[in-house]
Structure 1
């Protein structure tokens, strides 16, 4: 269904092709298209595109920090650089014309005599959320796509039952999401799970905004549930020694898996993505797709080198996965979740043997090694900031603050003895 929109109070959601009209110097700057670039200076689709211009602040009469305006208007729904450039060119032309004819972004109006008309296509909520989910899947990893798909389908079922799934997308309100989250909570989901549903819906609603199907992603404004998820605690040195001795006898292949994870600081899924061709023993490099980067290069330290040499990887097909249920590199057609579950189930035997609680898991090895390295740096005389700086390329956290929070969470960044600073005797 289409409807005519009379543009006199707000900027259009879709703008027609309009030729740029040259004008004398006015209260606004030239309208430009912002094209984000990658590290090689090439246009990238990984960050938002938008058109922007400056408009003289009516209170100060100057171009200042508040005088810059930018608009996306659906440009980021296009999936190629060429399409976004074409759309951006049209938007630049349209806004140039609007400014020429009196559009004032502070007042968000244009003169009635120069109003434009254009077509807006109404879509149902089902159409909008389905399209948004499809668009988002092109940028998600397989594991993310599967988990979000599951949660969004739960929400779609709820919307169908409560008969708002075929309402116009713009009629969906914050209350619809709040009621769904309450429903999920009543069904027995934990606070963490409820927050995961909220995050999944918010991500898809952001795409609905990009697609110009809704005005604002109000889901991100919904308060999160307070939760205290069980974290993986680091093992003590004695615990690691006991686990090593047990696995050397009962599951040496799982021990190799844990060693690769700990010495490389890769995550479970990242270790399981490794193929034989990703292991370069000559240059001592692992190539992997990680959580935060498309491609990551990881240096193979001495301890890791010994493990990988022992596995005789050169005997296997380069496309074989390094770790599989076969006990050696092979093809393994399974989802990443199924793969991590396989090694998780094998580790449960270790937990049962040593009576380890929920707070211990495979990630505990990664945390143990991080803590061990940090304490070694501190013991060698480095300050906390020096130790953090040296650890960044090892753990590959994105920021100093992120690594600090990580170590603080593991309860290891304790202050030095400050007893000499206290003069009160209680």
Structure 2
């Protein structure tokens, strides 16, 4: 019976009902111990923990003997088969509303509800034969069946495709623009833009953001893999997943399913270390032909900086008097490093330069340069590549190779007089690694720790034969 029908009872019935003492509490929904109105602010773990608990409708009814309100049995009605907050809460809201109607119509868990059952089922309200009465279910079972019958209507879900696809993505991009660095955002946006172009070309039939499913994303990533590397495909997956997480947090989509898509194995690109002969030849050439680039290389080599960190340096970041270097690293706002004397002696007079000018520019040392950070780094990478090409060095060699080379050289030199733990403790201060595990992995990757000659283990007489020959 609809609420309108209930309100249209005759005046006598209404007056009688409103004079009665309220015998039941407002039915409520238990949602796993969390406030669903703040669902989007909960962490993924908190949401999953809540959904792992049973959700149900509960209410209290006045016991006719004691006059006290007694909590009644939980009503779940199969709601917990739904795995998302939205579906489960929608279902329980219908149960709650139907239960409230039944209570308002006079349902009483402590008495015979036959008259109410007749009213709902449309049966004639007169006494049946004794034989028919025996066939009826017990009143408790019939009452439960009425609640269940009214609480489980067939729900025709309206098709909700959500916000228009490209509008939703622009919304996500705007939020990411405020959270990503100026260096990271262009790369992120490039991946999202590429996906938007693919959708317009391959799936113009899709309109709403919720029409995009796992199958569509996998198809797009496979198309990326066919035209580029697995690394680029993984980067595309990461960017899309980050965007969809933002959309999920803002309740534009229900779930970020991209997290469940596998990450492909990739072969990491490794920068080779230089041999002593290569170092000597490169340094000699740059000293004669490009002394500014050589000074740039010294910052990478002697201060163990990344090329992009060197490009961030301004005149004000160098304190020659205190031998300190202030750098903005990727993992800290500002990091302080000492300037070793071997580098300090090669620096020009900084007192005549503007503090806000960059150290390294195409126009010289300590000059203004209005260019994005990534473009500044790429400029010096291209400048160094011209020299690499002269010496026929491949892609496996780069500016980063200087950092690897010098860390490996220091490790082997320090190992001659110190224990491995002492060496690593000192190196952590120089390289900037925050944990011993990270440093040990890095040293393994660059083959810094090499064994002594083990020929004697392969042939016990090897060194003896060498002595006899001499």
Q: TM-score, normalised by structure 1?
A: 0.70
- Partner in structure 1 of residue 336 of structure 2: 297
Deviation of 1:260 after TM superposition, in Å, equals 1.1
Pairwise CA distance, 1:246: 0.9
Indicate the SS of the match to 1:328.
Answer: strand
Q: Deviations over 1:205-250 (max 9, x none)?
A: 2322322333333323322333324321111222112111111101
CA contact (8 A) 1:13 1:212 kept: no
Structure 1 residues 86-97: aligned runs within 5 Å: none
In the TM superposition, what are the counterparts of 1:13-162 in structure 2 within 5 Å? 15-16=36-37, 50=42, 70-71=46-47, 122-162=162-202
CA distance in 1, matches of 2:329, 2:373: 13
Is 1:358 aligned to residue 408 of structure 2? no
Distance in 2 (CA, whole Å) between partners of 1:314 and 1:100 is 77
Distance 1:13 1:148 in 2: 34
- Cα distance in 1 for partners of 2:309, 2:315 equals 13
Deviation at 1:416?
6.1
SS of 2:337 mapped into structure 1: strand
User: Residue in 1 aligned with 2:370?
Assistant: 333
Residue pairs, 1:112-261, within 5 angstroms:
122-163=162-203, 167-187=207-227, 189-261=228-300
| 8 Å Cα contact 1:371-1:412 kept in structure 2 | yes
Q: Is the 8 A contact 2:161 2:208 kept in 1?
A: no
Whole-angstrom CA distance in 1 between matches of 2:459 and 2:190: 59
Conserved? CA contact 1:132–1:211, under 8 Å? no
| Pair 71,327 (structure 1): closer, same or farther in 2 beyond 3 Å | same
- 1:131 and 1:234 map into 2 onto residues whose CA distance is 45
What residue in structure 2 maps to residue 313 of structure 1? 350
State how far apart, in whole Å, the 2-side matches of 1:398 and 1:201 are.
Answer: 30
Change in Cα spacing, 1:234 to 1:51, as seen in structure 2 (3 Å) is: closer
- Residue 153 of structure 1 and its aligned partner are, at CA, apart by 0.6
**Highest relative contact order (Cα 8 Å, sep 6+), 1 or 2?**
1
Structure 2: tracts of 5 or more residues without a match:
1-27, 49-55, 60-73, 99-159, 462-470
Which segments of 5 or more consecutive residues in structure 1 lack a partner in the other structure? 1-6, 18-32, 34-47, 53-68, 73-97
Give 3-state SS (helix, strand or coil) of 1:315's partner: coil
**How big is the alpha-carbon RMSD for the aligned residues of Structure 1 and Structure 2?**
4.0
Find the counterpart in structure 1 of residue 302 from structure 2: 263
* Structure 1 residues 11 and 256: CA distance shift in structure 2, 3 A: same
User: Given the superposition, is the C-alpha separation of residues 326 and 423 from structure 1 closer, same or farther in structure 2, using an over 3 Å criterion?
Assistant: closer
**Structure 1 CA distance for aligned equivalents of residues 234 and 205 of structure 2:** 22
What does residue 42 of structure 1 align with?
Answer: none
Aligned to 1:395: 431
Instruction: Compare the two structures and name the one with the higher helix fraction.
Output: 2
1:375 Cα offset (Å)? 1.2
Q: Structure 2 CA distance, aligned partners of 1:155 and 1:125?
A: 11
TM-score with structure 2 length normalisation? 0.64
C-alpha displacement of 1:415: 5.2
Largest Rg, 1 or 2: 2
Q: How many residues align?
A: 346
